[in-house]
Amino acid sequence: MSLIPLIRRRTRLLAASLLAVAIAVPISAITTTADASATTGVVAAAATALPCDIYASGGTPCETAHSTTRALFASYNGPLYQIQRASDGSYLNISVTAAGGVANAAPQTSFCAGTTCTITKIYDQTANHNDLPISWGGYWKGPGPNGADVGANAMALPLTIGGSTAYGVKVSQGVGYRVDNAKNVPTGSAPEGVYMVTSSNYVDQYCCFDYGSGENSHTDTGNATMNAIEFGTACWLGGCTGPGPWVEADLENGMYSSNTGPNSSSYQGVNFPFVTAMEKNNGTSNFTLKYANATSAGLTTGYSGSLPKGYSPMKTDSSILLGTGGDNSNSGIGEFFEGAVTAGYPSDATEAAVQANIAAAGYSFGGSSGGGGTSGALHAVGAGKCLDDPNSTTTGGTQQQIYDCNGQANQHWTHTSSGQLTLTVNGTTECLDANNNGTANGTKAIIWTCNGGTNQQWDLNSNGTVTGVQSGLCLDVTGKATTDGALVELWACNGGTNQQWTLS
């Protein structure tokens, strides 16, 4: 992207007859019709086919495939990622439980006990071996030695998949992974598809939480030299509608929700604990953005149309990146669980089948999948932090705050059958409470001994807001602040990102 220091931004269809793999089943058996075009063809796929098997059967094979949670090929039986512990500098590979299986995370738990661990490499599951090591940096320097980026905390993002414990990649500012001159990936104007599973729990407005293709030089080499998914609340070209976050295309010098930049009025944000994000680009005339709740089948198209002016033909380079922009812009944050880059322009039918497989994988936080659980961390979507009881206090009247998510008891909330949000700290259960039964803007959100009052009852709404039953006001991060310690209050609902929450 162009080098603007204040923001640090440098920031068809296939033929009806498709190659079959293993046991053929019609796509109607493994997908839904949320995409109207998804049922226009038939994809023959194995009953045990995983995302990259499905892409291959559609004639658009994965040229890279990365995941810390599961195999992306039914035949894959190797390592998913590598970790290093701080206590003695030793390394450990985390592999799948069996061919086509989920991560075997149990060794990680014991290996990292009493110390910290870093994800140092994410293995490519294709025969190309385009593994992702920690990036050496770029135009924007990272916080590591000699300006390199740093690896993610290996224990920072626990989850379950198919009922088994696994860990995602929590990309904080300065974290980045990259392989240059990747083998066999699309370059120039060759058609390319990208998908990843991410989350709206941890996003920001800065550049760039990307996954896809970028420049080997780690510098901005001009329009159309990137083709990556960007996920966050950045509205780089202005005019956006709604609070976000959005699935966007980072094509270099612009994060595009459409060919002009701004998203459509119907595409105001994607708020799910697990999000499927897809982007495809035919290199000359079209790029398409899709998204879905990654725990339920059915893709939505955010945009499909012409490339932006000055971006045809594409000039995509062959570096594959995760967590930063093309010139190593590293102020973006996000969460990554799995993804792939494909050769060719995937059909709608293929993408629908991939999404159905992702939905069937069983991603969840805290044992609950779907739009959020009844117990877990209450994530402030706009800030990428969690609702936090300061210093685990049990003192009634303490105003609650947001703070970096840490998995501790003072961030673990339960939404009870009576509508209370309870927190058990230091052996005492407290309730989130509208101070002094307040119903006015600015009423403090505090903890107080649970008493059954309506000022302690909360609705968790499908639009991401948390509203007080008594007041009808929204739980709100004061002043749209995103820093640790920002206080939480009640305010009239206004659609702002500081009023967006997910309990997971």
Q: What is the pLDDT of residues 136-162, one digit of tens each?
A: 999 999 999 999 999 999 999 988 999
| Residue numbers annotated as active site | 252, 327
Buried b (16+ CB within 10 A) or exposed e, 83-98: bbbeeeeeebebbbbe
- Reported as a single tens digit per residue, the pLDDT across 489-500 is 999 999 888 998
Query: What percentage of the chain carries pLDDT values higher than 70?
Result: 89
Rounded alpha-carbon distances, angstroms, from residue 182 to 36, 282, 344? 35, 19, 16
Whether 143 and 323 have beta carbons less than 8 Å apart is answered as no
C-alpha 415/C-alpha 400 separation (Å) is: 16
- For residue 466, the one-letter residue type is V
10 Å CB burial of residue 416 (0-12, 13-18, 19+) is middle
Domains, the chain = 27-60+166-364 (2.60.120.200), 378-503 (2.80.10.50)
C-alpha 48/C-alpha 38 separation (Å) is: 20
Torsion angle (degrees, nearest 10) of CA 460, 461, 465, 469: -60
| pLDDT given at position 36 | 31
| pLDDT given at position 496 | 86
Residue 367 in tokens: 């044992």
pLDDT surpassing 60 at residue 340: yes
Q: Which helix (H) or strand (E) holds 442?
A: none
- Could you write out the DSSP letters of every residue in 258-323? SSSSSPPTT------SSEEEEEEE-SSS-EEEEEEETTS---EEEEEEPPPTT--S--B-SEEEES
Q: Indicate the SS3 state at residue 392.
A: helix
| pLDDT given at position 74 | 98
Nearest partner of 423 among 441, 410, 442, 439, judged by Cα = 410
C-alpha 70/C-alpha 216 separation (Å) is: 28
Confidence of residue 366 (pLDDT cuts 50, 70, 90): low
Handedness of CA 354, 249, 328, 379 (dihedral sign): negative
C-alpha 501/C-alpha 504 separation (Å) is: 10
319-322 vs 132-133, strand pairing mode: unpaired
Q: Indicate the SS3 state at residue 453.
A: coil
| pLDDT given at position 375 | 82
10 Å CB burial of residue 101 (0-12, 13-18, 19+) is middle
Q: Quick one: average pLDDT of 83-96?
A: 98
C-alpha 183/C-alpha 186 separation (Å) is: 9
| pLDDT given at position 427 | 83
pLDDT surpassing 50 at residue 301: yes
| pLDDT given at position 354 | 98
Q: Using the 8-state DSSP alphabet, how is residue 134 labeled? A: B
Residue 423 in tokens: 């927190």
| pLDDT given at position 372 | 44
Q: Quick one: average pLDDT of 33-42?
A: 31
| pLDDT given at position 367 | 39
| pLDDT given at position 17 | 32
Handedness of CA 466, 363, 61, 218 (dihedral sign): positive
The mean pLDDT of the chain is 88
pLDDT surpassing 70 at residue 274: yes
Confidence of residue 384 (pLDDT cuts 50, 70, 90): confident
* Cα Rg of the chain (Å, integer): 22
pLDDT surpassing 90 at residue 461: no
| pLDDT given at position 373 | 55
Beta strands in 373-427 (DSSP E): 375-376, 378-380, 385-388, 401-403, 413-415, 421-425
- Reported as a single tens digit per residue, the pLDDT across 170-225 is 999 999 999 999 999 999 999 999 999 999 988 999 999 999 999 999 999 999 99
- Could you write out the DSSP letters of every residue in 206-268? SS--EEEEE-TTSS---TTS-EEEEEES--TTS---SS--EEEEE-SS-EESSSSSSPPTT--
Confidence of residue 81 (pLDDT cuts 50, 70, 90): very high
| pLDDT given at position 370 | 35
